[in-house]
Every structure is written in structure tokens, then in C-alpha cells.
Amino acid sequence: MLQIMTWIPHIVYEDNHYIAISKPAGIPVQAEHPDEESVIGDLQEFIGKREKKPGKAFIGVLHRLDKLVTGVLILAKTSKGQERFNEILRNKQVKKFYLAVSEHKKIPMEGVLTHYFTRKGEEYRMSVSNQRRSADDQEAILKYKIISMIDDHQLLAIELITGRRHQIRAQLAFIGCPILGDHRYGSKHLEDSLALHCSCLKFIHPIKNIPMVLLDVPKTNNRIWQPFKNKMMEWGQEVRGKNEL
């Protein structure tokens, strides 16, 4: 069954080897079944039509965002680009920053969270513990900083140190700060979207060998993010200016 593209890609960055977009909510990076719309399928069609290429354009997965998560997603346009980027990922040379709005709980204004993850039975969610329970447990580490609090919500800037399935969602929920709209991990707020956004990727371009900062703050026409507009802009300027590579 032919899938119809339901969005127009907002391109954050593009060159011969890579394309980075602002991923919308509700569309998976890769389809789980043939009839499902996906970012990969849509970009193959989009680039193929734009460049008048016969057949499907090459689009290689480099990292993933959950279906409900928005923000910067970089993909490879060539096999060489995919191979080189996978190498810097393996060497932990890509910094990933997120913004999230969570339910407010009194926790330190900044810190490092270290937990251990296992898949929770047949459920599509992670079980979190403060201690390793088996050799199969995966260590999950992130850094966070609360950059604004309004009423019973707080805006957090997060740097992922490891990259586990549902990592930010599960770790924040475990400390009593579920992300707004994340009903899978205990949010009681009746939002129709998940307040988690991949806001910045920083790395040395693996082919051009130049510093890259791909920045994309959440759209402030969304009522979850709108109250934090000024703080998000300030954070964006700050993270862009930091020389961390």
C-alpha cells in the first residue's frame, strides 16, 4: 500500500553526505510494517523527487528518536557518510542534548543520573533500578540541569552520556519527574504530545573535519513549550557557544 507523505521536511542541515531534519511527532524513523509511514520512506521519496532520481534515494539510519519524540535527526545520504558517522558514534564523539518539560518535583537543580535498565517483560518499556540486578542490565547515564520552573512544570536541559531505549523518559520517571504527555511512564497530564525534544547535536564532521552544531529548539506554538520560550532561546545560544568538541 502506497503511503502518502503527511509533512514537509524542515531541513536543519544538508550536504552531499548528510541531511538533518527537525523530526515531527507521531512518525517513526523506520516503519515497523509495510503500510506504516516513516521518516526514512518519506525522505527517500522527498529527495528522489527533488533530485529527479530514478528509484528510491539512499537514506541511512545513524541514530533514532522515539515515535513521539521531536527534534534533530541526522541521516546519511551516502554509504560512505553512514560508515564514517557510525565510527564517531562508536567512539562517543557525538554530543546529544535534549530539552524536556516534566512534572515538578523537588530535586537538585543539576546533577548526573546513573541507573540500570532491563526490558520489562513483554511490555514496550524499560525497568529501572539504582543497582545492577543481572549481567544483562544496561548502564544508563545522563546529565541534567533545571533551567526554568513555572507552576508545577519544569524545563530541563539534558545531555545523554549513554543511549538506551527510552532512556530520558524512564530515568526522569524513576526519580518522580515524568515527562508531560508520557503516559507509558506515568504522566498524569492529558497532553496529546510528548514534551521531549532533541535540541542539539555537536560533533566534528567525519568527512569535512569541521565542527558541527545542529540546533533546533521546540516550536513555541505548542502550549507545553510556549511558557519556556525565552529560557529555551537563552539555552540555545549558550549551548551553541560552548566549545566542547
Share of the chain above pLDDT 70, in %: 94
Contact 25, 181 (CB under 8 A): no
- pLDDT band at residue 124, thresholds of 50, 70 and 90? confident
Can you give the C-alpha Rg of the chain in angstroms?
18
- Of 202 and 118, more confident: 202
For residue 1, pLDDT over 50 is answered with no
Mean of pLDDT values over 131-152 = 93
For residue 51, the tally of other CB atoms under 10 A from its CB is 9
Mean of pLDDT values over 61-83 = 96
Query: For residue 67, which of 144, 182, 163, 173 has the smallest C-alpha distance?
Result: 182
Three-state SS for 213?
Answer: strand
Mean of pLDDT values over 194-213 = 97
pTM: 0.93
- All structural domains of the chain with their residue ranges: 11-227
CATH architecture assignment, domain 11-227: 2-Layer Sandwich (3.30)
Cell triple for 106: 523537588
- Of 55 and 213, more confident: 213
Helices (H) and strands (E) in the chain, counts: 4, 11
How high is the pLDDT of residue 64?
92
